[in-house]
Amino acid sequence: MSDTAVNQSPLPVMNTYQRFPITIVKGKGSYVWDDNGKKYLDYTSGIATCNLGHVPEQVHEKLSNQLDLLWHCSNLYSIPPQNELASLLVEHSCFDQVFFCNSGAEANEAAIKLAKKYAKDNGFPERTEIVTFQQSFHGRTGSTMAATGQEKIHKGFTPLTSGFRYLNYNDEAALDEVNNGTTTAVLLELVQGEGGVNKAELDWIKKLSQVCKEANILFMVDEVQTGMGRTGTLFAYEQYGIEPDVMTLAKGLGSGFPIGAMLAKENIAVSFGPGTHGSTFGGNPLASSAGIATMETLLNENILAHVTSTSKWLNNQLEELKEKHKLIEDVHGIGFLIGLKLTAEAAPYINEFREKGVLVLSAGSHILRILPPLTTTKQELEIFIQLLEEVMTDGRS
């Protein structure tokens, strides 16, 4: 079969993406359509972004109303939709204050800056390092690329921004290496999405959180991919019985409209005073309106319970397929952030799914990453399982 994606780009767009050989022009619910009219079941959700499906009515209505009022307002003035969204996020999390930006990388950049400032403000000038983990992914800006524990992301961009130290994920020995006297914060994903859909072990996370608490090291969780209901709770940290000091969000927060956020406890957020950080577009009226509608829909329409119940059913179906087909080595993840570890490279199977009208992704060479919209139906999941069975038995199981 051909490669997963075609390495070409129509000018004048820079060739920074290996694009799949289809052009998507329309989306609604769990489906998208290409420019030839072919319909696809989108189980990428725009890479865990369109959590409510494509063009959800509640978000569409909120944005339409805001379009008639105000598109942009400088953050030098109070922005009512921004304040409303911040209140919703604080009310439904363990955090006290929010900084808004435009993306996950920007949210993580803000967290990195806040950690450094917090250390200086609290008499720890020697604490200049942030611990992250192997196979992590935190973004592609200078600092977030350096924070990412994957050599393939670093290649060609050395020297990297200094101040990051990578430890092994889910490793008991790593717990003893966190507090070396120079660590100001730990930053990690509770499920490593791009790094292979690796789920943090409950006992390890609790121990790591305790290590940080005892040493006054900030415990920061990157929930850019796991947040906004994808794991079955509004935020993944809720499933671990911990309270992080800082959390970053993006992707699903705006249902596809660009927005990011960094949340922090009050005693930490105070280090970001006037002039310490900023964003021209962060938390603008349109983005904040999309976030409000997304939050209200997740909270009021029983979607989290739907994810919990249907993801359990889906996981059982996948485990049954694993027993039947030697191609599936393992099933892992939480909720609707799912990884199928294959005994062969994933690329040909991604292509075959696309030919059959289903979009899925990889997370490393041998991992199929499955990211259904949180609103997907049991019928759509049954269609997916049926096609997965076909792909698995198509002469390769």
Would you kindly state where each structural domain of the chain is located, as residue ranges?
A: 24-56+303-392, 57-300
pLDDT for the residue 121: 97
Side-chain-side CA neighbours of 4 within 13 Å: the count stands at 17
Chain centroid to CA 26: 23
24-56+303-392 and 57-300 in the same fold: no
Domain made up of 57-300: CATH architecture: 3-Layer(aba) Sandwich (3.40)
Among the listed residues 380, 377, 372, 108, the one whose alpha carbon sits nearest the alpha carbon of residue 246 = 108
Amino acid letter for position 358: V
Torsion of CA 66, 70, 72, 73, to 10 degrees: -120
Residue ranges of the chain with per-residue pLDDT less than 70? 1-10, 395-397
- For the domain bounded by 24-56+303-392, which CATH number is listed? 3.90.1150.10
Side-chain-side CA neighbours of 95 within 13 Å: the count stands at 28
Q: Left (φ > 0), alpha (ψ -120 to 50) or beta: where does 348 sit?
A: alpha
Amino acid letter for position 199: K
Q: What is the pTM of this model?
A: 0.94
Residues across the chain: 397
- What's the 3-state SS for the chain? CCCCCECCCCCCCCCCCCECCCCEEEEEECEEEECCCCEEEECCHHHHCCCCCECCHHHHHHHHHHHCCCCCCCCCCCCHHHHHHHHHHHHCCCCCEEEEECCHHHHHHHHHHHHHHHHHHCCCCCCCEEEEEECCCCCCCHHHHHHCECHHHHCCCCCCCCCEEEECCCCHHHHHHCCCCCEEEEEECCEECCCCCEECCHHHHHHHHHHHHHHCCEEEEECCCCCCCCCCCCCHHHHHCCCCCEEEECHHHHCCCCCEEEEECHHHHCCCCCCCCCCCCCCCHHHHHHHHHHHHHHHHCCHHHHHHHHHHHHHHHHHHHHHHCCCEEEEEEECCEEEEEECCCCHHHHHHHHHCCEECEECCCCEEEECCCCCCCHHHHHHHHHHHHHHHCCCCC
